[in-house]
Structure 1
């Protein structure tokens, strides 16, 4: 509702008495909060009109108290039908509500969360309908109808596009600096179905891609056939000196009663030789 009147109400519904009645009703609803200026009146129909007052609630800038008053005809008193807060033209309002299944994004699913697929999910198709995937069709024939739902063509293309442009796709920084592609790597395990033409799983535990879907043209420095000039690559660990784990032994106590002559004689000489 705007604060600018768009219709002319009955004079009885717009006079001073109607304004004061509406203000009193708004004040009762607002409690201790102050009711602002009267900013307009809008005719609802022939027997009712809504008066607008500025709301001065904290956080409700641009909102109006809307008080609808009515009368039953000449000689009858005015009555208050409704008191509500409504946003004006410049009011701050919450964004339109979006259903939760449209707000969920990749990575939002946590431990213990449940995320059922919608009945009309375009990424899935009934298992007894052609899936455009020969591998799926073969399995369905062997075990009856197979799974209740399988990937639809849209679901396959959506996954392929997401994986192709992801961290393990051919355009990633790692792939651009790799010596060879995953398609020629012994650790590359191709996935089944139509996606197997371009994607597989990395089985090298020493790479960041281990256990992830990788594109056939992705690659990294741990390719099974990689060679280093000058011999095999030998990992060299940095030697760190840590004095916190050193064993410390106390010096032997000097025996003051020992033979001072012997103590003062250089090693390898006799007492007589030392006096010469």
Structure 2
């Protein structure tokens, strides 16, 4: 047992001397549930509140390096007896724990979908808005059904379209990705896509920043690229003379006959 144990205060409360000193009480309660071989030295205590203290003990159990036994004790007002609230095993700063849970929908990355896979979007996805909005209030189930019917009757084909937020997210993702100006391919390019003859213009609000590459020899063929992107397959690229292939010599016409070869 250590007398110089650490003290951590989590509340603006004067430490209660009885609960702080109840190290033996906490250890005894711990040993009722845990083999003695699994309990190490006293690591300190945490003041949780008024007359509530948690004592920490090292965990010696195999496979639990960096974990700590936590025993919370308390004392009722005007009582001298310290009682035990709970005994739990908690991870310390160096403990190996499972990574934070990430919902399945957020774990999916571009390229993860296989043929036949479905990835539905939520009705309230902020990236999409109804093609026609009914009133200024949020749409209820009946209004959404009406929007779908109106869009279908008008032959629009799309019930929802990109919202301003969805458009900005897409533009930022494209610009920061491999088809933007910071890609290694673009940084070493002789010129930008905006002057390339293979750039196809697109319509809509993103037409001032992006186009589609139509060069079948380029890495970005068929992909959206930013105007300040670039690659070595630019339409106006010309090789310097030192990089041009060496011309072949003039062909020689062989006039020797088989009979002439035998006399040589």
User: TM-score, with normalisation over the residues of structure 1?
Assistant: 0.52
Displacement of 1:87: 4.7
Displacement of 1:115: 4.6
The one of 157, 172, 175 aligned to 1:164? 175
The one of 60, 64, 68 aligned to 1:63? 68
Instruction: Give matches, 1:97-116, under 5 Å.
Output: 97=100, 99-100=102-103, 104=107, 107=110, 109-111=112-114, 115-116=119-120
State the alpha-carbon separation in 2 of the partners of residues 208 and 117 from structure 1: 30
Q: Deviations over 1:96-124 (max 9, x none)?
A: 83543695475473536655444444332
Alignment RMSD: 5.1
Matched, 1:178 2:185: no
- Give the length in aligned residue pairs: 214
- Point out where structure 1 has 5 or more consecutive residues left out of the alignment: 131-139, 237-266, 269-276
Conserved? CA contact 1:22–1:69, under 8 Å = no
The one of 127, 132, 139 aligned to 1:128? 132
Aligned to 2:207, what secondary structure does the other structure show?
Answer: helix
State the alpha-carbon separation in 1 of the partners of residues 104 and 190 from structure 2: 39
Aligned to 1:33, what secondary structure does the other structure show?
Answer: helix
Displacement of 1:15: 9.1
State the alpha-carbon separation in 1 of the partners of residues 130 and 199 from structure 2: 31
Conserved? CA contact 1:168–1:215, under 8 Å = yes
State the alpha-carbon separation in 1 of the partners of residues 185 and 46 from structure 2: 67
**Bigger radius of gyration, 1 or 2?**
1
The one of 207, 210, 228 aligned to 1:199? 210
User: TM-score, with normalisation over the residues of structure 2?
Assistant: 0.53
- Point out where structure 2 has 5 or more consecutive residues left out of the alignment: 1-5, 10-14, 135-150, 248-261
Q: Deviations over 1:24-67 (max 9, x none)?
A: 31xxx334733224555979888x98665432234343612426
